[in-house]
Structure 1
Amino acid sequence: MDHVQQWLQALNIDAIQCIVLILGVSEVLLARANNVWLYPTGIAATTLSIYSLFHAKLYAECLLHLYYIVMSIYGWWFWTTRRNNKPVEITFSTQRDWLITIGIVLGGWVVLYFFLILFTPSELPLWDSWVSCTAWAGMWLLARRKVENWLLLNISNAFAIPLLFHKELPLFAFLTLFLFIVACKGYYDWMKTAKKNMAIA
């Protein structure tokens, strides 16, 4: 047992990271199974993540995770009140959707960057703000059931993985890598569904 603790300490892995990894993987599996328990599981994982991210001085990531909590609470409520209603169909993004997405990314990047350099002791404000604003854009497209949400989320994931390793949060990085792989599969599945919807229309 002492050897395991020494190994975890050498890798800068604490109990919170281990719990977040377990909860994060569980959330994805519950989502795939279409189980409502994905929401409380996700809220618990996200809340614990904020604690670790704050101590790593990734303040934009903390704001992003607060947003995830709000969206999870909304999703939990929406699921339980409108579960039997017909869902919004999966479609490809329009030109207007892309303009709004680019606006969220660029506008969010600038606002977050200046917020971080002016009001926080952030060590990597440019990188931290980029990861968050691309995820915000991806979440907006996800809410609108657009195929390209997976692309934006994976841009965020791709930059988040080395950032998390750099900030000595290896289990968070591995969890993000897992989410990256899931998002690749999600993009492929949603693209097939969108093409099928277009053919029917």
Structure 2
Amino acid sequence: MQIIHLLQDWWQHQTWLEIIGVITGLACVYLAAKNNIWNWPIATISVTIYIFIFFETHLFADMGLQVYFFVVNLYGWYYWSNKPVTEKKIPVARITKQAALISAGAIVVFTFILGTLLKYTTASFPYLDSFCTACSLVAQVFLARKVMENWLIWIFVDVIYVGVYIYKDLHLTAVMYAIYVGIALMGYVDWKRDYKKQSPSPPAP
């Protein structure tokens, strides 16, 4: 009975805004992992909700990230819609060494600059939050361009986010990101299988 009361008490502290954000967030990531274009319109709903949630919890880098996600979601929707005439879907690509090096450098620079700026605000975990934001910026671009390695970045950053959201008492969001890890792993496996079926394999952008 005590466990039931604890669960009831926990549920009463959850907001409908976060619940809807979690549902749409899980739906869009699952659809992306399954290579389904409908992930993009659902994703725009989820990120809009989380702009408000992260503002209220002082995760300002994450809030700004959602604005960026909103724009990239629209781009991804457009890019995935413009498939080659001979293909049912936009082909999956692989990352190049040059793109990997540029992305790693951009993450380091972005983390330092944004973390330093946020250090003088009320932001929580300025450098860690900035690092996760930087990784997410790169991963989202790769997702929009259908670069397979986007899922490996998401697995890494989502594990970190789980700890951050537990600390900030965003328990439903933490659960959502834990599920994201599993979905990202599934996405990587599925996209890798699709990539191997392609002939010839397209180069990464």
Deviation at 1:19, TM superposition (A): 1.3
Aligned to 1:8: 11
Kept after mapping to 1: 8 A contact 2:161/2:174: yes
Kept after mapping to 1: 8 A contact 2:62/2:133: yes
Aligned to 1:117: 119
Deviation at 1:183, TM superposition (A): 0.6
Give the 5 Å matches for 1:45-194. 45-79=46-80, 82=82, 85=85, 86=87, 88-118=90-120, 120-194=121-195
**Structure 2 regions of 5+ residues with no counterpart?**
none
Paired residue type of 1:113: G
TM-score normalised per structure 1: 0.83
Paired residue type of 1:114: T
Residue 27 to residue 94, structure 1, CA distance change in 2 (3 Å): closer
Q: What do you get for the CA RMSD once the two structures are aligned?
A: 2.6
Q: Deviations over 1:96-144 (max 9, x none)?
A: 01111112211221122122113x3112111111111111121232233
Q: Deviations over 1:42-94 (max 9, x none)?
A: 212111111111111111111111111111222334455x3564555323322
Deviation at 1:30, TM superposition (A): 4.5
Kept after mapping to 1: 8 A contact 2:51/2:66: yes
Kept after mapping to 2: 8 A contact 1:91/1:197: no
Q: Deviations over 1:140-178 (max 9, x none)?
A: 322333221111111111110110111110111111112
Q: Which has the higher helix share?
A: 1
Deviation at 1:33, TM superposition (A): 7.3
Distance (Å, rounded) in 1 between the aligned partners of 2:201 and 2:48 = 42
Distance (Å, rounded) in 2 between the aligned partners of 1:102 and 1:54 = 28
Paired residue type of 1:25: L
Kept after mapping to 2: 8 A contact 1:104/1:136: no
TM-score normalised per structure 2: 0.81
Residue 113 to residue 33, structure 1, CA distance change in 2 (3 Å): closer
